[in-house]
Amino acid sequence: MKKLVLYDTMSRRKEVFRPRNPPAVSMFVCGPTVQSELHLGHARTYIFFDALARYLRHRGYDVFYLMNITDVDERISQAAAGRGEDPLKYASRMASLMMRDLESLNIRSISRFEPVSRHVDEAIRQVKILLEKGFAYEAAGWVYFDTTKFKRWGRLSHQSKKDLSLRPLELSPRKRSLNDFALWRPEVLIDGLWPSPWGVGSPGWHIQDTAVTIPILGAQYDIHGGAYELVYPHHEAEIAEAESVTGARPLVRHWVHTNLVKSEGLKMSKSLGNVVTVREALRRFTPDEIRLASLSIHYRRETDLSGLASARRRLRGMKNAARRFKDRAASVALPLTPFERALNDDFDTPNALAWAEETLRSAAKEADRDKAAAVAAPAIEGMKILGVDLLEGA
């Protein structure tokens, strides 16, 4: 089987996928902050990584796919306060809605979900280690990571010291450097509170993820995924924290990021108020149509909502063609060469889908039904790998 290559954000080139301990593959994708419902920007990222995990399993890998749920955040506290709810109970309710939306989109490849509120003790342990090693400092109940002590700061986002100086984080007179970030935050910011050596408070956003991944995946793992907007500072900070805590490097073998979904020409964002939630989208489009629209554009390209209507037409044609072979279609030992060739080249789903669509058209032209079914079978099976069952409901 041809080697799979994926574009690596760290190296800025396509790299042959080489897991640390094949056939085991460990994959972590940043889950949402559950102050509100999932939107189509989230959906694009999670559909992509669901399809990637499915394909890795198709190739024979034993994939353990971990996703965190950020349920400790001042935005959650603010949303809960506006509804008169306890923040953690509110977050739990919103996490349940998130799970509903993922299931509705046929995102079923995730092995384990972990709310970060279950890992606060681990976050405190890691902050203590960073203080002991000199990578962090305390300031009036806050604990900050000292980015000047981590020599590889900025490597993932490919920023020079000058670049970084123009992108200060968390402006505060307590910090030693503009790029330092909070590891522990005092109680004034959030209602979800935990005792610590530095007073009552909560872990910073970045340390929450390493508190989840290090105990479960270990000091190093194979794939870290998420939206491109998380490269800096979030994923940059995860590298600094984890490699400083454990001493092992690199934290991750392959950094994979999806690009933006735009709405009205702007990034789809809760803060901009231009989001289309998954639940709203599902009132107009089927899960398969949303999946097809997401996978029709390469994951490293920006996309918008215009593809949903064309995905509906495209999927209707593919399903109509596939239904002709329902009685004859069966799981096959695929020679999926063109399909797999596309996916092996940086998970090129647009070309894989184009091949499947063209194959179904060719099958429809065959006069011999058995021969036509044999031509169509690889396309039908290939679409199943991407989480779209062309024969469902036929």
pLDDT tens for each residue of 299-341: 999 998 888 999 999 999 999 999 888 766 555 555 668 999 9
CATH 3.40.50.620 fits 19-262, yes or no: yes
pLDDT given for residue 190 in this prediction? 56
Tokens 């900070």 belong to 237
pLDDT given for residue 161 in this prediction? 86
- Residues lower than pLDDT 70 in the chain: 1, 188-192, 264, 270, 327-336, 393-394
Instruction: Quickly list DSSP for 172-203.
Output: -TT-SSTT-EEEEEEGGG-SS-B--TT-SEEE
Peptide bond into 197 cis (omega under 30): no
Domain boundaries, the chain: 19-262, 307-385
pLDDT given for residue 192 in this prediction? 59
DSSP alpha helices (H): ranges in 184-336? 205-217, 236-246, 278-282, 287-295, 307-323
pLDDT given for residue 374 in this prediction? 85
Which is nearest to 312 in space by CA: 284, 280, 339?
Answer: 284
Record the pTM.
0.95
pLDDT given for residue 70 in this prediction? 96
DSSP-derived pairing of the beta strands 261-263 and 303-304? parallel
pLDDT given for residue 46 in this prediction? 98
pLDDT given for residue 165 in this prediction? 87
- Sheet strands side by side (includes 181-186): 136-139, 142-145, 181-186, 201-203
Distance from C-alpha of 394 to C-alpha of 302, rounded to nearest angstrom: 33
pLDDT given for residue 254 in this prediction? 98
CATH number (3.40.50.150, 3.30.450.30, 1.20.120.640, 3.40.50.300) of 307-385 reads 1.20.120.640
Residues 316/77, Cβ–Cβ less than 8 Å? no
Which bin fits 379, alpha (ψ -120 to 50), beta or left (φ > 0)?
alpha
Helix axes 369-385, 349-365, angle to 10 degrees: 160
